[in-house]
Amino acid sequence: MTQTPDLPAFDWPVMEPGWVWLCGAGPGDPGLLTLHALNALRQADVVIFDALVQEAILDWAPQAEHIYAGKRGGKPSAKQRDISLRLVDLARAGKRVLRLKGGDPFVFGRGGEEAQTLVQHNVPVRIIPGISAGIGGLAYAGIPVTHRDVNQSVTFVTGHDQSGAAPSSLDWASISKGSQVLVIYMGMKHAAQIAGHLIGAGRQPSEPVAVVTSATTSDQRVLETTLGTMVDDIAATGMEPPAIICVGRSVLMRQVLDWQGMIAGEAPRDLDPLGRGLPAEIA
């Protein structure tokens, strides 16, 4: 059985029976869990987890019952209302409940809805943020989500709305104009419409795009492409969700910051991909 890692000495909160801790598990790599998440894993009676939570993380709660509440293998997903009410039932049964969600629970994860239902039912909650895929996943690909020479803002966008359709209700013109860098979650299914909307709203087809699938896991793949070619390139590579699509010039920074490539022995492709000039001592 996996040994649950020790926590450093600190006044860690105690998980009381009847509580639900709504916790982000980060984008994949178990090392990206917070210490609060680890503290929760050690104490929980029940862990209710989503599809994107890695097995290795669950192994750190061997004492707990593990309940799967996501979509996998084509099975219908558990209804959001059912999940929320299940959390209420478990808490009322006196369990210490850890609700573990991929990334950050409040970023495109319906964590707000779950927490609201719990509060409405008088169930006490604690919220533990996590590293969101749109930030940490890009960092693992060597892409800084903000970079002073590129962007003063970043916009996080969901690639589909509640019904699963492309989010036509989004104001693509404003999104296109408002932010130099766009980070798109759940964008694979509607990649063609999204690229079309952005180009239609004035973004250049030549604009750099990165697609990062299964970021921070051993299956991570990164595609560097452009807005105009991304749909064909995604099809050609056969890349599958989960994916983060990053649109903007910060993608170019990967040419110097692909640290995983460097660990694997590759040289950086370009020390100055934005053409800002090299420091005097290496120029």
Q: How far is the CB of 245 from ligand SAH (least distance, A)?
A: 8
Decide: is 109 part of the binding site for ligand SAH (CB under 6 A).
yes
- Identity of the amino acid at 223: L
Residue 79 annotated in active site: no
Q: Which of 15, 186, 188, 230 is catalytic?
A: 186
Q: Which of 15, 29, 50, 104 is catalytic?
A: 50
Nearer to ligand SAH, 80 or 274 (CB): 80
Q: ∠ at Cα 159 (163, 251), nearest 5°?
A: 170
Residues 204 to 263 in contact with ligand SAH, rule: CB under 6 A: 212-217, 241-244
Task: Kindly tell me which residue out of 20, 69, 102, 210 binds ligand SAH, with binding defined by CB under 6 A.
Answer: 102
d(CA 63, CA 45) in angstroms, rounded, equals 7
C-beta separation of 102 from 52 below 8 A: yes
Please choose, from the candidates 44, 55, 58, the residue with its C-alpha nearest in 3D space to the C-alpha of residue 126.
44
d(CA 115, CA 126) in angstroms, rounded, equals 9
d(CA 48, CA 4) in angstroms, rounded, equals 18
Residue nearest to ligand SAH (CB): 103
229 three-class SS: coil
Q: Which residue has the tokens 């004492």?
A: 63
Nearer to ligand SAH, 101 or 190 (CB): 101
Residues 118 to 147 in contact with ligand SAH, rule: CB under 6 A: 132-133, 137
C-beta separation of 53 from 104 below 8 A: no
Decide: is 107 part of the binding site for ligand SAH (CB under 6 A).
yes
Decide: is 186 part of the binding site for ligand SAH (CB under 6 A).
yes
Residue 177 annotated in active site: no
Query: What is the DSSP annotation of 243-275?
Result: EEEEESGGGGGHHHH-HHHHHTTPPPS-S-TT-
Q: How far is the CB of 214 from ligand SAH (least distance, A)?
A: 5
Q: ∠ at Cα 205 (204, 208), nearest 5°?
A: 85
Nearer to ligand SAH, 19 or 185 (CB): 185
Nearer to ligand SAH, 95 or 167 (CB): 167
d(CA 166, CA 208) in angstroms, rounded, equals 22
Decide: is 167 part of the binding site for ligand SAH (CB under 6 A).
no
Q: How far is the CB of 16 from ligand SAH (least distance, A)?
A: 26
The stretch near ligand SAH (CB under 6 A) out of 11-19, 102-110, 168-176, 200-208 is 102-110
C-beta separation of 199 from 172 below 8 A: no
Decide: is 104 part of the binding site for ligand SAH (CB under 6 A).
yes
Please choose, from the candidates 3, 4, 19, 5, the residue with its C-alpha nearest in 3D space to the C-alpha of residue 128.
19
Residue 233 annotated in active site: no
Nearer to ligand SAH, 241 or 268 (CB): 241
Q: Which residues pair with 47 in a beta bridge?
A: 66, 98
Residues 23 to 42 in contact with ligand SAH, rule: CB under 6 A: 27-28
Per CB under 6 A, residues contacting ligand SAH are 27-28, 52, 101-104, 107-109, 132-133, 137, 185-186, 212-217, 241-244
Residues carrying an active site annotation: 50, 71, 186
